[in-house]
Amino acid sequence: GTDTYGLANGTSLATPQVTGIAALMLSVNGNLTPAQIQQKLQGGARTTKLAAGTSCTAMPAGSGIVDAGAAVASANQ
């Protein structure tokens, strides 16, 4: 068959990505607390607004778009 992609959004889709990034952070520094992981994830997020035409056009996307590289790099800081 052919490969296809679909569009979806929501916390149910973000959760596995953020969990994976947290696991990568812990692989670099196993002493991180949940609060430190949250702070580093939020601190390294790229700010953005949701695109026009989405269901939440006026709402910021929480802390922004999670940046896996920045989060993992900050794990030892």
Torsion of CA 48, 65, 5, 22, to 10 degrees: -170
Write down the domain spans for the chain.
11-76
User: Which one-letter amino acid corresponds to residue 57?
Assistant: T
- Helices and strands (H, E) in the chain, number of each type: 3, 0
- Please tell me the pTM assigned to this model: 0.75
What is the chain's pLDDT, residue by residue, as a tens digit (77 residues)? 688 877 777 777 888 999 999 999 999 999 999 999 999 999 998 877 666 666 554 455 677 788 999 999 999 99
